[in-house]
Amino acid sequence: MKEYLDVLRQILHEGVEKESGRANMPNTIGISKADIKMDLRKGFPLLTTKKMYWRGIVHELLWFLRGETNIKYLVDNNVNIWNSDAYRWYLKKCEELLYTKEVFYKNIDDFVNAIKRLDNSYYNDDNNIDDIQSFEEQRHLSDLISWNYYLGNLGKVYGYQWRNQNGVDQVKDVVDGLKNNPYSRYHIIDGWNKADFRDMALPPCHLLYQFIVTPMDSYEREDYYAKMHNFTQEQRDEMNPNATDDDVHKIMDEENIPKFHLDLNMYQRSCDTFLGVPFNIASMSLLLTIIAKVSNMSPRIANWIGGDTHLYVDHIDAVLEQTSRKPLELCQIKIDKDLNSLEDICSLTIDDFKLINYKSHDKIKAELFTGVKK
């Protein structure tokens, strides 16, 4: 991932310092555009210059794809990247409930522990709150439910927009569109819905995904088949030596080999380049892999485009450490499940993903800034 390290270096050399546009956030240094091109045929772009939280990447993406907007699933799977935003949204909802002088959960830890104690009955419409809470806590939760807020909600964030933007299931539209009209230029998932901003804990940072299809030629399809069966180069060279292009395509059709490459362009308006962007580029590449598999296409190029591409000044020492490290060979990703429909995607679990030969340098710790006062 030399391209990612080049973006870090560009910010360090060319970035301009400015105040954050959000309250309680450090200053940033940044540039107004960056891009990273990733060819998934050369390996899966999971950063190697620091150890990445792979399980968190997978769980968050599955959470998006299922249309979920409550952190209960993430918390139960020890993914805590949304905890602060959910707590900030909880404080806002308490204020709307007129809990202006005092809130029940006075810090994030108490808030998250309360979510862990809840079972799924709390999140159903029957208002059945688990008996393990005290009477006061149950009354507090009942007040929240009556206000149409459930503990851990984030409002109409990514998952809601992806699966129910103004009544449109955008993920379903993309899956159906790729199968029925692959060359369409409408294969887009858009999270930037200003009408719903007032109902979001945080407007989307990665906001626009466009999937683009191009045909595979006969040689590329043969290559795909050879790699799928782990052919040696000699075996590859001996494949269909006298066949015409039409003959090869017919043979590959019989073997159900993909006819198309699938590329993905993603635009991200606000880019926490040290902590967030490595997560984002791995997530978008995993999304491309999933959508390609369900569409019987070959995942190819993931293009990440950043708008306000910045580093928090508090992260600069960590960035200098990372840019001093040499990238290692990229890993591979395999999905151990047949995907033929949106329902198959929604039933994916962490165990369906196999990360092959992932090696990395050690972790580099840095604070995730969300605007929550300590």
- Whether residue 373 has pLDDT greater than 80: no
Q: What's the distance, Cα to Cα, between the start and end of the chain in Å?
A: 34
Q: Binning pLDDT at 50, 70 and 90, where does residue 148 land?
A: confident
Beta carbons within 8 Å of 72's beta carbon, 6+ residues apart: 115, 118, 120, 123, 152
Q: Binning pLDDT at 50, 70 and 90, where does residue 120 land?
A: confident
Catalytically annotated residues: 205
Pairing of strands 298-312, 28-31: antiparallel
**Residue ranges of E strands in the chain:** 16-18, 28-31, 34-39, 188-190, 206-215, 260-272, 298-312, 332-335, 353-356
3-state secondary structure of 374: coil
Alpha-carbon distance 315 to 365, whole Å? 9
pLDDT attached to residue 318: 94
Alpha-carbon distance 32 to 99, whole Å? 41
- Whether residue 127 has pLDDT greater than 80: no
- Whether residue 189 has pLDDT greater than 80: yes
Dihedral angle, C-alpha 45, 50, 51, 52, nearest 10 ° = -50
- Whether residue 130 has pLDDT greater than 70: no
Q: Is this model's pTM higher than 0.75 or not?
A: yes
Taking the domains of the chain in order of start, what are their residue ranges?
Answer: 2-69+156-216+258-356, 70-154
Q: What percent of the chain has pLDDT over 70?
A: 95
Which tops the pLDDT comparison, 318 or 135? 318
Alpha-carbon distance 180 to 183, whole Å? 9
- Whether residue 126 has pLDDT greater than 60: yes
Q: Tens digit of pLDDT for each residue in 16-33?
A: 999 877 777 788 999 999
Q: Tens digit of pLDDT for each residue in 33-85?
A: 999 999 999 999 999 999 999 999 999 999 999 999 999 999 999 999 999 99
Q: Binning pLDDT at 50, 70 and 90, where does residue 131 land?
A: low
pLDDT attached to residue 26: 84
Alpha-carbon distance 100 to 91, whole Å? 9
Beta carbons within 8 Å of 242's beta carbon, 6+ residues apart: none
pLDDT attached to residue 140: 86
What does DSSP assign to residue 360? -
pLDDT attached to residue 147: 84
What's the average model confidence in pLDDT over 151-171?
Answer: 97
Pick left, alpha or beta for residue 239 (phi over 0 → left; psi -120 to 50 → alpha; otherwise beta): beta
What's the average model confidence in pLDDT over 254-272?
Answer: 97
The answer to whether the CB of 7 falls within 8 A of the CB of 324 is: no
Architecture per CATH, 2-69+156-216+258-356: 2-Layer Sandwich (3.30)
- Whether residue 93 has pLDDT greater than 80: yes
- Whether residue 99 has pLDDT greater than 70: no
Q: Binning pLDDT at 50, 70 and 90, where does residue 164 land?
A: very high
Query: What mean pLDDT value characterizes the chain?
Result: 93
Pick left, alpha or beta for residue 279 (phi over 0 → left; psi -120 to 50 → alpha; otherwise beta): alpha
Tokens standing for 251?
């043979």
